[in-house]
């Protein structure tokens, strides 16, 4: 059996994290509407994480749309979105009809300046009813020092998501968000969430890669800028 692949790696130098918390694991069921997060099964050869942002639209990382072995673009129709996968059953499962990648994304490059373009919007072959799963609402990029959560599928959690809570935003720039959440292979495209007690979380960013900063593991995430709305229109 081939191992699922996912997140790219990057290395950052020259920053200091101090004593920032790395985020704590928590039950995903503690997040209302967590089923909007799902696993992308990419041709049975790779995996990423994605979020439902409209009944027929999901948001993920742009680099998930490329074959890690040869760098070629993946056929969108080979991708399946398994929303709310927990164990061997998903809350809803849909194939992908179309993928739109940020126009500035260049596959194979890494680093903070590539992170801002590492987003893609996928249109599902058929919508998921809001009565089954309510899409995640979008919100502005958090400021430095804010607390965020990350929900992801990964190499070590292929069939059930992992939730890290109370991660700290170390850097908030136009080209990247850096948090203390630690991610693994497969977590590319995972939502960075702002949660409010008793209310559905809001999606504020998308995990692009893992990195090292001040000798500690961190994650790089793509801010959600005006380009996202353009991608959504193009995917429709």
Alpha-carbon span 186 to 157, nearest angstrom: 9
How many residues are given for the chain? 236
Q: Are 6 and 46 in contact (CB under 8 A)?
A: yes
8 pLDDT tier (thresholds 50, 70, 90): very low
Alpha-carbon span 27 to 123, nearest angstrom: 29
Average pLDDT over residues 34-49: 95
pTM equals 0.88
The proportion of the chain whose per-residue pLDDT surpasses 90, expressed as a percent, equals: 68
**Terminal C-alpha separation, the chain:** 35
Q: For residue 85, which phi and psi values (nearest 5 degrees)? A: -65, 125
- Confidence (pLDDT) at 24: 72
pLDDT digits (tens, 9 = 90+) for 161-214: 999 999 999 999 888 899 999 998 889 999 999 988 778 899 999 999 988 888
pLDDT at 129 over 50: yes
Q: Are 165 and 23 in contact (CB under 8 A)?
A: yes
Which tops the pLDDT comparison, 21 or 89? Answer: 89
pLDDT digits (tens, 9 = 90+) for 22-32: 567 788 888 89
């Amino acid at each position: 059996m081939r191992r699922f692949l996912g997140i790219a790696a990057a290395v950052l130098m020259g920053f200091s994290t101090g004593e920032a918390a790395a985020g704590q694991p928590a039950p995903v069921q503690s997040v209302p509407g967590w089923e909007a997060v799902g696993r992308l099964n990419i041709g049975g050869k790779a995996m990423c994480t994605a979020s439902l942002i409209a009944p027929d639209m999901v948001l993920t990382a742009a680099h998930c749309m490329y074959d890690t072995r040869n760098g070629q673009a993946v056929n969108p129709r080979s991708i399946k979105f398994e929303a709310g996968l927990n164990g061997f059953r998903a809350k809803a499962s849909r194939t992908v009809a179309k993928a739109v990648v940020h126009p500035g994304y260049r596959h194979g490059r890494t680093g903070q300046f590539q992170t801002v373009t590492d987003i893609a919007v996928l249109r599902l072959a058929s919508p998921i009813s809001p009565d089954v799963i309510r899409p995640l609402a979008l919100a502005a990029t958090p400021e430095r020092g804010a607390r965020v959560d990350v929900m992801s599928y990964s190499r070590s959690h292929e069939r059930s998501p992992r939730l890290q809570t109370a991660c700290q935003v170390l850097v908030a720039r136009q080209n990247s968000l850096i948090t203390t959440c630690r991610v693994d292979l497969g977590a590319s495209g995972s939502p960075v969430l702002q949660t409010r007690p008793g209310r559905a979380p809001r999606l504020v960013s998308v995990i692009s890669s893992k990195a090292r900063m001040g000798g500690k593991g961190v994650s790089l995430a793509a801010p959600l800028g005006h380009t996202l709305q353009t991608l959504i229109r193009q995917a429709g």
